[in-house]
């Protein structure tokens, strides 16, 4: 009797393995051969689900963004007022735990690669547009200058996130990053009303 394989679960497993490799070693670490070895299968099994390395990498980036977006939306739905929703989404965007740290490491690898890869650059622009549009929805009821406020908040999240990733355990703490973000949020929204 032939073995029944859950194709979606198998694809998801390969994406997870590739994301782990990228977080640990950058995009170079996620060759088809390395993904297959880490998944305990042949390269042919990986290419059966992903026709090429580029298709697999696109799936990793999409999964990281989709998971973060879904998590942010779920967290935002738990709070009643607009300011708390914005605060929750911004905090959720920072690499404050192992899951979000892994996502940031994946994103950083893709950001670096997008400087010389036009396809990745376009994908990055699209995903940033989605992120910025979501923040604009949250900020608009709270600010008279929503575009400017969103630009500054995106820059703050990127900067604080990079600081947390690059300095690691020996650097500033998550509490420090959150306090800085809170202070900026308070100043921006006080000035915008």
21-80: per-residue pLDDT in tens?
999 999 999 999 999 999 999 999 999 999 999 899 989 999 999 999 999 999 999 998
What is the rounded average pLDDT of the residues 162-175?
77
Separation of alpha carbons 138 and 16, rounded Å: 31
Domains in the chain: ranges and CATH: 61-191 (1.10.357.10)
Task: Please give the pLDDT value at position 5.
Answer: 67
**What pLDDT, on a 0 to 100 scale, did the predictor assign at position 71?**
94
Q: What pLDDT, on a 0 to 100 scale, did the predictor assign at position 85? A: 93
pLDDT-derived band at 120 (thresholds 50, 70, 90) equals: confident
**CB-count burial class (<10 Å; 0-12, 13-18, 19+) for 2:** exposed
Q: What pLDDT does residue 191 have?
A: 59
The conformation of residue 141, written as its DSSP 8-state character, comes to G
**50, burial (CB in 10 Å: exposed 0-12, middle 13-18, buried 19+):** buried
Reply yes or no on whether the pLDDT at 147 is more than 90. Answer: yes
In this structure, are residues 85 and 76 in contact, taking their beta carbons and an 8 Å threshold?
A: yes
- The number of beta carbons lying within 10 Å of the beta carbon of residue 68 is 19
Long-range contacts of 27-30 (CB under 8 A, 24+ apart): 27/57, 27/109, 27/110, 27/112, 27/113, 30/56, 30/57, 30/60
Average pLDDT, the chain: 90
* Angle formed by the axes of helices 118-139 and 98-114, nearest 10°: 130
Radius of gyration for the chain, computed over Cα atoms and rounded to the nearest angstrom: 19
Residue 52 is predicted with a pLDDT of: 92
Q: What pLDDT is recorded for position 48? A: 94
| Residue 15: band (very low, low, confident or very high) from pLDDT cuts 50, 70, 90 | very high
Stated pTM of the model: 0.86
Q: What is the pLDDT of residue 169?
A: 57
Q: Are 88 and 78 in contact (CB under 8 A)?
A: yes
pLDDT at position 139:
94
């Amino acid at each position: 009797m032939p073995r029944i394989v859950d194709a979606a679960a198998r694809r998801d497993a390969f994406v997870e393995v590739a994301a782990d490799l990228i977080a640990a070693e950058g995009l170079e670490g996620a060759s088809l051969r390395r993904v297959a070895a880490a998944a305990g299968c042949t390269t042919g099994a990986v290419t059966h689900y992903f026709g090429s390395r580029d298709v697999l990498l696109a799936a990793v980036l999409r999964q990281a963004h989709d998971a973060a977006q879904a998590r942010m939306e779920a967290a935002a739905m738990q709070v009643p007022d607009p300011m708390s929703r914005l605060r929750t989404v911004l905090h959720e965007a920072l690499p404050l735990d192992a899951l979000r740290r892994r996502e940031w490491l994946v994103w950083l690898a893709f950001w670096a690669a997008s400087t010389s890869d036009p396809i990745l650059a376009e994908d990055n622009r699209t995903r940033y547009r989605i992120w910025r549009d979501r923040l604009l929805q949250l900020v608009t009821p709270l600010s008279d200058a929503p575009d400017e406020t969103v630009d500054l908040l995106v820059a703050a999240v990127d900067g604080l996130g990079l600081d947390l990733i690059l300095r690691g355990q020996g650097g500033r703490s998550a509490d420090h990053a959150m306090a800085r973000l809170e202070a900026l949020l308070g100043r921006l929204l006080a000035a915008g009303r």
